[in-house]
């Protein structure tokens, strides 16, 4: 977003220090000028903020259609940095050893405390962030994706702008037969934050949750999934303004186009269930 030049430079330095072959880097200015970057780092400046998925899709296309000029793309938040020098090599090894591995979700840890927030472990059993496992979604600001996934199932959903775009891609990838791993040994340092710091959080979380279900779930599961999430939202007892924004987003999700509908196969529903997260929660 152009407002964290020191953090961006630290991230780029951590990428440059990776073992093995150099990592090609593109920095996308999402509606803002790109600060000074090291020599060899490519930049793209967009005239307007396209949102998180829109900006990342521009970064994908910087490596050719669907990123085809490279085998794997890393997506890293500009206020994070890679904690270790072997992350790129671990990625290369993981994708090389498992031809059906499509996406890797890194572990996000606070740089001062080393703590990983529960919400940053992309599974229901999140009490042990040091346990790696197969999962059903991934973290948008700290991940690696095989570019063949984009070629097969398409890019991130631009219209989402913020929230749930990763799960939309994850469900499509799983439906196409790809697998997703959470790797605790691949670490991105990132300051501890709350997602609700964003003014649009409650509205977009609700709207995009509806879009996610309408786009990807078999029709019979759509009301079940959304009913469960409505109940969970109410149990968390958000403030009145937050709840008002949430219900406004929920209505918007039904009243507006969600994009193309491609419901997942029932065998994918079963796969998600076996992986510990049936698509009703």
Q: How far apart are CA 106 and CA 110, in angstroms?
A: 13
What total of structural domains would you count in the chain?
2
Whether residue 110 sits in one domain with residue 9: yes
- Pull the structure tokens for residue 242: 């937050």
Q: CB under 8 Å to 74, separation ≥6 — which residues? A: 15, 23, 88, 91, 143, 144
189, 214, 244 — which closes off a domain?
189
Whether residue 255 sits in one domain with residue 181: no
Q: What is the pLDDT of residue 2?
A: 80
Closest by Cα among 156, 151, 152 to 137: 156
Q: What is the pLDDT of residue 198?
A: 54
Asked if 109 and 187 count as a contact pair (C-beta separation under 8 A), the reply is yes
Whether residue 225 sits in one domain with residue 86: no
Asked if 79 and 1 count as a contact pair (C-beta separation under 8 A), the reply is no
The full length of the chain comes to: 281
Whether residue 215 sits in one domain with residue 79: no
Q: What is the pLDDT of residue 200?
A: 84
Which segments in the chain show pLDDT lower than 70? 195-199
Whether residue 156 sits in one domain with residue 37: yes
Any domain includes 270:
no
3-state DSSP call for residue 176?
coil
Q: How far apart are CA 175 and CA 127, in angstroms?
A: 27
**Structural domain boundaries, residue 247:** 199-262
């Amino acid at each position: 977003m152009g407002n964290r030049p020191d953090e961006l430079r630290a991230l780029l330095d951590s990428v440059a220090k990776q073992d093995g072959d150099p990592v090609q880097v593109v920095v996308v200015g999402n509606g803002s000028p790109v600060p000074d970057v090291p020599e060899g780092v490519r930049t793209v400046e967009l005239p307007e903020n396209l949102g998180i998925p829109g900006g990342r899709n521009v970064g994908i296309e910087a490596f050719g259609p669907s990123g085809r000029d490279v085998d794997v793309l890393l997506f890293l938040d500009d206020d994070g940095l890679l904690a270790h020098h072997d992350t790129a090599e671990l990625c290369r090894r993981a994708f090389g050893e498992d031809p059906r591995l499509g996406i890797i979700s890194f572990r996000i840890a606070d740089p001062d405390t080393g703590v990983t927030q529960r919400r940053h472990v992309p599974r229901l059993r999140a009490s042990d962030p040091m346990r790696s496992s197969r999962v059903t979604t991934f973290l948008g600001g700290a991940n690696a994706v095989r570019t063949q996934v984009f070629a097969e199932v398409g890019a991130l959903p631009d219209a989402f702008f913020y929230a749930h775009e990763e799960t939309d891609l994850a469900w499509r990838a799983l439906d196409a037969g790809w697998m997703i791993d959470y790797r605790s040994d691949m670490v991105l340092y990132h300051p501890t934050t709350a997602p609700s710091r964003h003014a649009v959080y409650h509205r977009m979380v609700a709207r995009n949750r509806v879009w996610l279900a309408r786009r990807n779930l078999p029709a019979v599961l759509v009301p079940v999934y959304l009913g469960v999430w409505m109940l969970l939202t109410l149990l968390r007892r958000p403030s009145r303004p937050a709840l008002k924004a949430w219900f406004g987003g929920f209505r918007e999700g039904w009243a507006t186009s969600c994009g193309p509908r491609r419901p997942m196969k029932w065998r994918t529903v079963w796969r998600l269930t076996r992986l510990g997260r049936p698509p009703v929660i």
